[in-house]
Amino acid sequence: MKYPVFITFFSIMLFAACSSDYGISEASSELVVEGWIEDGGFPVVILTKTLPVSDRYQNVEEAEDFLVRWAKVSVSDGQDTVVLTGMVDQSYYPPYIYTTSKMRGVAGHRYHLLVEYDDVRASASTTVPAPVAVDSFRVEKVNGSDTLYQLKACFTDPVDQKNYYQFFTRVGTKSLQFVASYLGSIDDAVLNGPTEVPVYRGHQLIGPDYTPYFSVNDSVAVKFAQVDETAFHFWDDYTKSQSLSGNMFLSSSTPIRTNVKGGIGCWYGCGSTTSYLIIRDYVRK
């Protein structure tokens, strides 16, 4: 499962947006943790450092420059503890991850993450929810546009359970990287059994001009995940911060909640299913 969503790059922008011309002293760099474990999947962790405010020139274009490559990263399920291996993986950006094939996530189980790097010790815990599935998809033409389409997902929320959901999307076949869907965090307090929700394109902070919609020839992968309340709040805060910032070089005042002690970011479990579709196949004739 590939979920990275440029938490690192976004954190860099948040810390680099201000200038020391306003009397802000240089802050220390913080550890950014972006990690997850899926039901049936291996744990994956990406570690970086934030770019602190400074009056010195700092290149924010290369997120690889802020990778943490020599940390000790371990995951425990309460019985076994596994040390993850750091490796280059071009399927991700930045292209370096910590992972292992010696532990798989199991729905209902709890997992503790520990990161040790220099004098930093960061930790977090999460639970893996059960997987969920989309029943069907529907596509509508966007009002006022001849080329853009809105994707909608239909699924059934169990009325006797408290659930939180997160959509991730990927467009095209050049990358395996999923991006958190814009406004894709859902609290089932607003749902009641069978429901239909819009699925927007993930908002990347680098690349072409952003649109939340899709083109008729887009090949789209949609990952629909059940997450815990902590992950829901993180993704909800994160995507709202993206949308409110407007400019990737300007920070938002919206705080992003984290479950990482000793750092920022999120370590989360999820149960998910992935659907693959081409928009033109769903366009009404």
pLDDT of residue 250: 39
How much is the average pLDDT of 100-129? 96
The distance of Cα 223 from the centroid of its chain, to the nearest Å, equals 11
| pLDDT score for 245 | 54
CA dist., res. 34 & res. 266, Å (int): 5
Q: What band does 193 get if pLDDT is binned at 50, 70 and 90? A: confident
- Name residues whose C-beta falls within 8 Å of residue 27's C-beta, 6 or more positions apart in sequence: 15, 52, 53
153 with 224: CB under 8 angstroms?
A: yes
Looking at the predicted structure, is the pLDDT value of residue 102 above 60?
yes
Structure token digits, residue 101? 């094939």
For 34-89, write each residue's pLDDT tens digit. Answer: 999 999 999 999 999 886 644 454 454 455 667 899 999 999 999 999 999 999 99
Got the DSSP string for 57-119? Answer: ----S-GGGGB--S-EEEEE-SS-EEEPEEEE-TTSSSSEEEE-SS--B-TT-EEEEEEEETT
The pLDDT value given to residue 6: 43
Between CA 60 and CA 11 the distance in angstroms is 11
Is the CB of residue 245 less than 8 Å from the CB of residue 16?
Answer: no
Cβ neighbours, 10 Å, residue 76: 15
Q: Which of the residue ranges 44-53, 122-131, 222-231, 258-267 would you say has the lowest mean pLDDT?
A: 44-53
Burial class (CB in 10 A: 0-12, 13-18, 19+), 194: exposed
pLDDT at 8: 46
pTM of whole model > 0.85? no
Is the pLDDT at 242 greater than 90? The verdict is no
pLDDT in tens, 206-229: 556 778 899 999 999 999 999 999
**Cα–Cα–Cα angle for 93, 99, 100, rounded to 5 degrees:** 155
- Taking the C-alpha atoms of residue 99 and residue 115, their distance in angstroms, rounded to an integer, is 13
Q: Per-residue pLDDT for 131 more than 70? A: yes
pLDDT in tens, 132-162: 899 999 999 999 998 999 999 999 998 888 9
Q: Which residue has the higher pLDDT, 283 or 254?
A: 283
